Amino acid sequence: MKRLLGQLVVPALTLLVAGGAFANPEPWQLNMTPGVTATSQDVYQLHMLILWICVFIGIAVFGAMFYAMFKFRKSKGAVAARFSHNTTAEVIWTTIPILILLGMAYPATRTLVRMADTGNAELTVKITGYQWKWRYEYLGEDVKFMSSLARAADEARQLGSGIDPHSVENYLLDVDRPLVIPTGTKVRFVITADDVIHAWWVPSLGWKQDAIPGFINEAWTQVDEPGVYRGQCAELCGKDHGFMPIVVVAKPRAEFDAWLAGQKAAQMPAGAVAASAPTATSSGI
Ligand SMILES: [Cu+2]
């Protein structure tokens, strides 16, 4: 029996509970994702720790209850006890929950404090939510752009489009211009909105932050693995709330720097481009 438990039941439970061990959402994913940042992994481990504590308490409490109901049932001649209180039991059932709560609150608070610390970031991106798209602005870099639902999905989603959504890759999860960030770098986000409340959420990063008009919320991330990480608006913000996905592309530092330089050049006014490239002009003279 013990072997059966070890070989079948425990791996099956682990598989069920850790079913979400992917960077991006999977069909039938039941659990949280461990994500791709130190923060998201801390959050995932806290979630698992607290889940197992709850499972253990649930089994113990319901086990004791069903045992008592079965063992001391009336048909077996059980007679109800008539004492009004028991100091020892009361001390035990007060102390144990306090210890459990402290054991959960300490690591949770430590993680929350770390998540709130946006200091020492190398790059700041301002995120603004709109009905129904996102705007990204690389502060101090003169690079800003809008990010909307990818054209293919937008066409397929129209009523009577005749396009099978299954034929569109990453349907409703792709954008025309993703947010690009460097890997191995602490990136700070300042998040707001320009019309109604939205929320910027990429599960792989381990947090979700409200985008509220008139407020600036902060968050940060440091992704170490290059990759594409998807998310969505997480605050019901109007009729197209389901059509403003988020795509974050994490690139190695050198690739990111080249991308940023390319964006800067593309967004500069025509005159400024000529002025910023004097070598080409001077060599021609
Ligand atoms: Cu929204």
262, two tokens: 């390319």
- What is the Å distance from ligand 1's center to 210 Cα? 10
24's CB contacts (< 8 A; 6+ apart) are 33, 203, 204, 228, 229, 230
- Gap between the Cα atoms of 171 and 174, Å rounded: 7
- Domains with residue ranges and CATH for the chain: 32-116 (1.10.287.90), 123-268 (2.60.40.420)
- What is the Å distance from ligand 1's center to 214 Cα? 15
What is the pLDDT at residue 80? 87
- What is the Å distance from ligand 1's center to 130 Cα? 7
- What is the Å distance from ligand 1's center to 199 Cα? 6
- What is the Å distance from ligand 1's center to 195 Cα? 10
**What is the residue-averaged pLDDT of the chain?**
88
Enter the pTM of the model.
Answer: 0.80
- Burial zone of 83 (CB within 10 Å; 0-12 exposed, 13-18 middle, 19+ buried): exposed
Asked if 23 contacts 35 with a C-beta cutoff of 8 angstroms, the reply is yes
The percentage of the chain sitting over the pLDDT mark of 90, rounded to a whole number, equals 79
Q: What is the pLDDT of residues 10-58, one digit of tens each?
A: 444 444 444 333 456 678 888 999 999 999 999 999 999 999 999 999 9
192, two tokens: 């707001």
- What is the Å distance from ligand 1's center to 272 Cα? 35
Q: What is the pLDDT of residues 93-118, one digit of tens each?
A: 999 999 999 999 999 999 999 999 99
Of 16-25, 78-87, 146-155, give the range with the top mean pLDDT.
Answer: 146-155
- What is the Å distance from ligand 1's center to 135 Cα? 12
- What is the Å distance from ligand 1's center to 118 Cα? 24
- What is the Å distance from ligand 1's center to 13 Cα? 36
186, two tokens: 């602490």
- Gap between the Cα atoms of 27 and 35, Å rounded: 16
- Gap between the Cα atoms of 8 and 75, Å rounded: 38
How many other C-beta atoms lie within 10 A of the C-beta of residue 131?
16
What is the pLDDT at residue 270? 64
- What is the Å distance from ligand 1's center to 138 Cα? 21
